[in-house]
């Protein structure tokens, strides 16, 4: 009887398999994804960076590697030095050598779209770190709320200077974050502009975030406006510092409010010295640790709960945005010093 039952069961299973569609049969016999069996020791993260020119990017690299080592995963870091072709080549090499997840800080938000596609073709997920890759099916975007950076910059500056001539020195036009910051700045300035209280007399991008370009732009703004400038909002602390150099040539450094962002050491020192009024602190410690944590989850195909989505021109990218913190002379101790981002002795040297 047992033999007859076994034969009948085999016959029934055969009939069921024949009745299934090909796709259903494949699902029935498919092996679990390789990622599900990975351990942390098996994971290799590729971290593609645009540049180390600014002080903050050195910190990003150090803290990212430190967080990866603490988590027990391998990480390979490449730096493109602002070269699109080099960054594409470096990331293609990492993909071909078998990374499990790609974390990328794009130099050019548009040109890195092809790399996202190549990574996906190789079964590798992509996390946009701090800067969003445009027109690509990015798996996750992690950054600070860059529009909020601009909103906070402009809010503080309009409290200091509610009327007058403003200069806006944006970041690199190829950096989508620069567009988001500008969007935030002008969202706040618009009512003042509409009332005629504020006039933006100069508004220019800074190619590749190069400080010398920002300085030349500020010099032009001063010349064409006969030094009649009342406030400067800059894309980061390096461009703010360049603007202050241009102002110093006219003995205006310290008399015209200047806002930057990134809380670079030089920027915080200028706040103490009175030539810069504001910077925006974005804890790189939090950002790098969260990036490693999320990269591991992507590599393991684990669920990630995003805060919101941001459209990058192709899809609504799942995004996690951390809050920035304004820093002026009143809260340096409670922010960058308390977090160990800068040492008190270095700031007040």
Is residue 153 domain-shared with residue 252, that is, in the same domain? yes
pLDDT digits (tens, 9 = 90+) for 153-177: 999 999 999 999 999 999 999 888 8
Clarify whether residues 62 and 134 are in a common domain. Answer: yes
At residue 168, the 3 state secondary structure works out as strand
CB burial of 130-144 (b: ≥16 within 10 Å; e: otherwise) equals bbbbbbbebbbbbbb
Contact indicator for 125, 46 with CB cutoff of 8 Å: no
Q: Give the model's pLDDT for residue 21.
A: 36
- How does strand 231-234 pair with strand 258-259? parallel
**Residue 34: what pLDDT?**
45
Whether 26 maps to a domain, the answer reads no
Tokens of 164: 């007058």
Same domain, 66 and 132: yes
**How far, CA to CA in Å, does 274 sit from each of 5, 109, 310?**
90, 35, 37
**Secondary structure E strands in 15-120:** 44-49, 74-79, 101-104
The overall average pLDDT reported for the chain is 89
Run of H or E including 220: helix 211-224
CA distance 174 to 117: 19
Mean pLDDT score, 6-15:
38
Mind giving me the DSSP string for 8-32?
HHHHHHHHHHHHS-HHHHHHHHPPP
- Looking at the structure, do residues 106 and 86 belong to the same domain, yes or no? yes
Q: Pick from 135, 141, 134, 210: which is nearest to 171 by CA?
A: 210
Residue 200's SS3 state is: strand
Mean pLDDT within 40-64: 90
Give the whole-angstrom CA distance, residue 260 versus residue 239: 8
Query: Residue 41 class from Cβ within 10 Å (0-12 exposed, 13-18 middle, 19+ buried)?
Result: exposed
d(CA 308, CA 103): 19
For residue 56, the model assigns a pLDDT of 82
Q: What is the CATH number of the domain that holds 237?
A: 3.40.50.2300
**Average pLDDT of the residues in 172-200:** 96
pLDDT at 22: 37
In a domain, 279, yes or no: no
Based on the domain organization, do 70 and 121 belong to the same domain?
yes
Can you tell me which residue has the tokens 């509409």?
Answer: 194
Same domain, 169 and 180: yes
pLDDT at 230: 98
Only one residue has tokens 């529009």, namely: 147
In a domain, 238, yes or no: yes
Tell me if 332 is assigned to some domain: no
Within-domain flag for 273 = no
Binned at pLDDT 50, 70 and 90, residue 55 comes out as confident
Assess whether 195 and 122 both reside in one domain.
no
**pLDDT-based confidence at 284, cuts 50/70/90?**
confident
Please check whether residues 199 and 306 belong to one and the same domain: no
Q: pLDDT, tens digit, for every residue of 109-164? A: 898 999 999 999 999 999 999 999 999 999 999 999 999 999 999 999 999 999 99
The mean-pLDDT minimum among 22-36, 77-91, 223-237, 245-259 falls in 22-36
Whole-number Cα distances in Å, 280 to 102, 169, 189, 261: 27, 15, 18, 4
Helix (H) or strand (E) holding 210: none
- Residues 192 and 252 grouped into a single domain: yes
Q: What total number of domains does the chain contain?
A: 2
Please, is 85 exposed, middle or buried when counting C-beta atoms within 10 Å of its C-beta (0-12, 13-18, 19+)? exposed
Instruction: Tell me if 313 is assigned to some domain.
Output: yes
Question: What residues make up the domain containing 164?
Answer: 146-261
Token output for 198: 């504020």
**Pair (212, 307) in one structural domain:** no
Q: What is the pLDDT of residues 72-88, one digit of tens each?
A: 999 999 999 989 999 99
- The values of phi and psi at residue 68, to 5°, are -65, -45
Contact 59, 108 (CB under 8 A): no
pLDDT at 38: 67
Is residue 83 domain-shared with residue 161, that is, in the same domain?
A: no
pTM: 0.76
* Percentage of residues of the chain with pLDDT beyond 70: 89
Q: Would 57 be classed as within a structural domain?
A: yes
Same domain, 150 and 185: yes
Q: Has residue 345 been placed in a domain?
A: no
**Which tokens is 297 given?**
């989850």
Decide if pLDDT at 10 tops 70. no
**Which helix (H) or strand (E) element contains residue 180?**
helix 176-195
pLDDT at 307: 86
């Amino acid at each position: 009887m047992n033999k007859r039952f076994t034969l009948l069961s085999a016959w029934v299973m055969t009939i069921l398999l024949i009745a299934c569609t090909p796709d259903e049969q494949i699902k029935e016999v498919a092996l679990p994804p390789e990622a599900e069996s990975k351990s942390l020791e098996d994971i290799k993260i590729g971290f593609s960076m645009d540049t180390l020119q600014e002080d903050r990017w050195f910190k990003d690299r150090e803290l990212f590697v430190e967080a990866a080592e603490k988590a027990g995963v391998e990480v390979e870091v490449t730096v493109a030095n602002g070269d699109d072709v080099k960054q594409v080549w470096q990331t293609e090499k990492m993909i071909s050598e078998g990374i499990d997840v790609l974390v990328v800080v794009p130099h050019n938000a548009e040109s890195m779209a092809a790399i996202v596609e190549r990574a996906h073709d190789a079964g590798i997920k992509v996390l946009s770190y701090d800067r969003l890759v445009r027109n690509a099916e990015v798996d996750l975007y992690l950054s600070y709320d860059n529009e909020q950076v601009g909103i906070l910059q402009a809010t503080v500056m309009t409290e200091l200077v509610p009327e007058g001539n403003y200069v806006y020195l944006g970041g690199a036009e190829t950096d989508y974050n620069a567009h988001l910051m500008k969007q935030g700045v002008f969202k706040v300035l618009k009512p003042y502009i509409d009332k005629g209280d504020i006039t933006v007399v100069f508004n220019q991008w800074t190619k590749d975030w190069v400080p010398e370009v920002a300085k030349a732009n500020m010099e032009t703004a001063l010349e064409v406006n006969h030094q009649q400038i009342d406030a400067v909002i800059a894309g980061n602390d390096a461009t703010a510092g360049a603007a202050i150099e241009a102002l110093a040539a006219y003995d205006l450094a310290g008399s015209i409010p200047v806002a930057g962002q990134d809380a670079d050491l030089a920027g915080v020192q200028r706040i103490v010295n009175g030539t810069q009024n504001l910077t925006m602190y974005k804890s790189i410690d939090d950002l790098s640790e969260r990036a490693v944590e999320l990269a591991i989850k992507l590599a393991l195909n684990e669920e990630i709960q995003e805060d919101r989505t941001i459209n990058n021109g192709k899809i609504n990218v799942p995004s996690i945005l951390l809050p920035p913190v304004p820093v002026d002379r009143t809260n340096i101790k409670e922010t960058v010093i308390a977090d160990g981002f800068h040492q008190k002795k270095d700031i007040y040297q």
